Amino acid sequence: MKKYYIGSTPYLRCRDRNLSGALEDAGTSITITVYNPNWKKIVDAAAMTKDSTGVYHYAGLTMLTTHLEGVWHYLIKDTSSSIISDAMGEFEYVRR
């Protein structure tokens, strides 16, 4: 599991695939929701940035001293009916 520290920015990626397993672009949009260790939404359905066909990332969250330490979770949603590999993920926030 990736670890991030105060002042760092988690780089969260996903690959959007169709039912055949091939990379494809998202339907209307692809969004990410990020939850702290208490499952409180910190980022709610934010747009992700397209890197290439079917590959997206989100880097809009900077870890602050006020954030809870522990395992954070994220959920990625596509508006189309395709399957998203890595649809759910997690990272750890550690204070040094």
- Model confidence at 72, pLDDT cuts 50, 70, 90, reads very high
Give yes or no for residue 82 having a pLDDT over 80.
Answer: no
Amino acid at the residue 23: L
- Model confidence at 86, pLDDT cuts 50, 70, 90, reads low
**DSSP-based three-state secondary structure for 78:** strand
Task: Give per-residue pLDDT as tens, 11-67.
Answer: 999 888 888 989 988 877 889 999 999 999 999 999 999 999 989 999 999 998 889
Amino acid at the residue 13: R
Q: What distance in Å separates the CA atoms of residue 43 and residue 86, rounded to the nearest whole number?
A: 18
More confident position, 26 or 4: 4
Q: Which residue has the tokens 């002042």?
A: 7
- Model confidence at 92, pLDDT cuts 50, 70, 90, reads very high
pTM (predicted TM-score) = 0.85
Whole-number pLDDT of residue 25:
86
Quick one: CA torsion of 56, 30, 27, 83, rounded to 10 degrees?
80
Q: What distance in Å separates the CA atoms of residue 93 and residue 53, rounded to the nearest whole number?
A: 30
Give the CATH number of domain 3-93.
Answer: 2.60.40.10
Helix (H) or strand (E) holding 71: strand 70-78
For the chain, the domains span 3-93
